Chains A and B, each alone.
Chain A
Amino acid sequence: MSDARQEIEIEVLRYHPEQDKNPRYQTYRVPFAHDTSVLQGLQYIKDHLDGSLTFRWSCRMAICGSCGKMVNGEPKLSCHTFLRDYYPGKLRVEPLWHFPIIRDLAVDQTDFLEKLENIKPYIIRDEKKPVSEGVYRQSPKELARYQQFSQCINCLLCYAACPQYGLDSDFQGPGIMALLHRYNSDSRDQGKDQRMPIVHAEDGVWSCTLVGYCSEVCPKHVDPAAAVNRNKVNSTMDYFLRFLSPRGANS
């Protein structure tokens, strides 16, 4: 930031549960250069202007998924969003929508993490083969069926983009459904029967009304809206095919 020439106003949502009943906004003037990210702007505030500002971050390179914030009302990875794009206007940084605020820009992710555990986001085998028998092989074509969904970094931007999750957090939500679909679509996995009840439930795919914004905001180009809506097709097939097959459908 040594070559900083310009200053931009950053308005940040503040909430300290010990003192504040409601969140408030605080504005800071931050110097920036061409390559200063929103995250670096927040770090400047913390290091030079107000050490009490709380926010999450880790890798600074759009891979860890920790630094998601609302920037002027859009869910963004703050390390992957640049102050220059908002100048000469100002920007407002808020915690991700639809999550409870713990402190300033940090939200409570407990709900997502519990849901993540429930979908068993790992390869399930009926019988595990010993390491001595080698790896589970997969063709490039089989990989292509789920690869985009495996790019999810759990950053929660899609949840901040989903009003249905905001209105009813029982909904599994876009990211969870993308990850569930990732494992169900993996040719090495045999755990589909364990995951499909989560898909079929009212709070599974059927709470989605295809707003579609989740897929637009994903920084890793995952298409959660497709994962959810393809599973609506699967769930419908399963419903009707059970009349034909006594064991239920091969959805």
Chain B
Amino acid sequence: MSARNTYMRPMAGWYRRNPRFMAYILREGTSIFVALYAVILLWGLTALSAGPESFERWLAFLASPLSVLLHLVILAAAVYHTYTWFQVAPKATPPLMLGTRSLPDSAIIGGGYAACVVVSLVILVVAW
């Protein structure tokens, strides 16, 4: 760097400077809820291996109002997480060339959503 007497602006509170940064923090924040859901599922799995009594306790927790509320929050976070995940998918996808044009981002995003809906429906039908 040069020997100039420059001024470096501090980064404190950077995420509040632009709505785009807040959206990023929100997107990353939703992963906490996704992780929380994974912990609840793991708890269920350990309860299952521990025996019927402990599994019943887990089921009772799931049926409690607090758990229903928590699951609604987790569902909302997971839906937003999924939405943003497909939105950024084209950035990590190697360019799929159709002649001299690459497949448009909207096709990758749309394809992702379509696959997500189909898979979710199949799981719902199988699990019901």
> What's the tally of chain B residues with a CB closer than 8 Å to chain A?
29
Q: Across the interface, do B100 and A144 meet the contact criterion of CB distance under 8 Å?
A: yes
Asked if A64 is at the interface of the complex by the 8 Å CB criterion, the answer is no
Instruction: Give the interface size bracket for A toward B.
Output: 35 or more
| B9-17, B39-47, B52-60, B118-126 - the one binding chain A | B9-17
Q: When A and B form their complex, which 8 residue pairs have the shortest distance between CB atoms, in order from nearest? A: A100-B6, A17-B5, A229-B92, A144-B100, A229-B91, A101-B7, A226-B91, A211-B24
Which residues of B in the span 48-106 have a Cβ within 8 Å of any Cβ on A?
88, 90-95, 97, 99-102
Q: Are B24's CB and A101's CB within 8 A?
A: no
Q: Using Cβ atoms and an 8 Å threshold, which residues of chain A touch B4?
A: 17, 100, 102, 108
Contacts A17-B6, A144-B101, A230-B92 given; indicate if A211 touches B21 (C-beta within 8 A). yes
Which chain A residue has the least Cβ–Cβ distance from B92?
A229
B-to-A contact residues, CB < 8 Å: 1-2, 4-9, 11, 14-15, 17-18, 20-21, 24, 28, 88, 90-95, 97, 99-102
A234 to B65, CA, bound (A): 47
Query: With an 8 A cutoff between CB atoms, is A159 at the interface?
Result: no
A141 touches B97 (CB 8 A): yes
* A141-B99, A144-B97, A167-B11 known; A215+B6 contact, CB < 8 A: no
Nearest B residue (CB) for A142: B100
Which of A101, A141, A213 interacts with B21 by CB under 8 Å?
A213
**Taking the complex as formed, is A209 at the interface, i.e. its CB lies under 8 A from any CB of chain B?**
yes
The smallest C-beta distance from B74 to any residue of chain A, in angstroms, reads: 23
Residues in chain B near residue A166, CB distance under 8 A: 11, 14
Beta-carbon contact of A74 and B8 below 8 Å = no
Q: Mark A197-222, 1 if CB is under 8 A from B, else 0.
A: 00000000000011111011000000
Q: How far is the CB of B18 from chain A (nearest CB, A)?
A: 6
Say whether A111 faces chain B, with CB atoms less than 8 Å apart.
yes
Across the two chains, which residue of chain A brings its CB closest to B28?
A209
**A2 within 8 A of partner (CB):** no
Give chain B residues whose Cβ lies under 8 Å from the Cβ of A242: none
A223, CB-defined interface residue at 8 Å: yes
Chain B: which residue is nearest A212 at the CB level? B88
Tell yes or no: A110 within 8 A of B by CB: yes
Please give, as numbers and ranges, the residues of chain A lying within 8 Å of B8 by CB-CB distance.
Answer: 100-101
Contact status A100-B91, CB under 8 Å = no
Task: For B99, give the chain A residue with the smallest CB separation.
Answer: A141
Looking across the interface, which residue of chain A has its beta carbon closest to that of B101?
A144
Give 11 A-B pairs besides A111-B1, A212-B88, A213-B21 with Cβ atoms closer than 8 angstroms: A17-B5, A17-B6, A144-B97, A166-B14, A167-B11, A211-B24, A212-B24, A212-B91, A213-B24, A230-B91, A230-B92
CB contact under 8 A between A216 and B90, given known A23-B7, A101-B6, A167-B14: no
A-B contact pairs, 24 of them (CB 8 A): A17-B5, A17-B7, A20-B7, A23-B7, A23-B9, A73-B17, A100-B1, A100-B6, A101-B8, A102-B6, A108-B2, A108-B4, A111-B1, A141-B97, A144-B102, A163-B24, A167-B11, A216-B20, A225-B91, A226-B91, A228-B91, A229-B88, A232-B92, A233-B94
In the assembled complex, which residues on chain B have CB atoms less than 8 Å from the CB atom of A141? 97, 99-100
A233 to B9, CA, bound (A): 34
Interfacial chain B residues near A17, Cβ < 8 Å? 4-7
> Does B6 lie within 8 Å of A210, measured CB to CB?
no
